A and B are shown apart, each in its own frame.
Chain A
């Protein structure tokens, strides 16, 4: 987001390879996968109610 704002303020609104690389970084994928896993675990917990 910061990089995109920097590029925009510099007047570079077209495609940028550095920004594209940041957007496809593995960190984003890992965070997305972890979030998905957590939501799935919450759903399982809500339905099976272990210990209830």
Chain B
């Protein structure tokens, strides 16, 4: 373990910390939002809580995770490595971060419209779509966390 610890220069620690902290906040926010939206069963207060958890916890978490990812990517010198030599775990991380970020934005827009419609008394169908997208994202990020931490290849 000491040898592994000695391999990583100290200057990599803070960007890595930001990346992992952001990922933890992102997954925590998705779990909270998904759980609350699933348990809401039409309760407007819980539906709003789920949406705001996604907006105020998951989105900042994603931003922090993505900034940390780019920073540590650059620190580790992956910029200079040809694309075909980039390991699979890194590709999985990038794909889930970027496509997941897009899905998160879509789910936030759909959820925002859903919250507006809820206020107008027009039902909560769009927030159910937000719930489904949150659960898809949660599953994708769990796979990404496994790939990034376990580095299978």
Give me the interface of A with B, judged by CB distance under 8 Å: 39-40, 43-44, 47-49, 52
Interface residues of A, dominant DSSP: helix
A47 to B1, CA, bound (A): 12
A43–B1 touching, CB < 8 Å: no
Interface residues of B, dominant DSSP: helix
- Tell yes or no: B49 within 8 A of A by CB: no
The residue among A40, A44, A52 with the most chain B CB atoms within 10 A of its own CB is A52
Number of residue pairs spanning A and B whose beta carbons lie under 8 angstroms apart: 17
Known A-B contacts A52-B5, A52-B6; the reply to A47 vs B24 at CB < 8 A is no
| The stretch of B15-23, B31-39, B125-133 that contacts the partner chain | B15-23
Give me the interface of B with A, judged by CB distance under 8 Å: 1-2, 5-6, 13, 16-17, 20-21, 24
A17 to B17, CA, bound (A): 42
B6–A47 touching, CB < 8 Å: no
A49–B5 touching, CB < 8 Å: yes
Partner of B13, one of A39, A40, A47: A47
Residues of B within 8 A of A43 (CB): 17, 20-21, 24
A40 to B6, CA, bound (A): 22
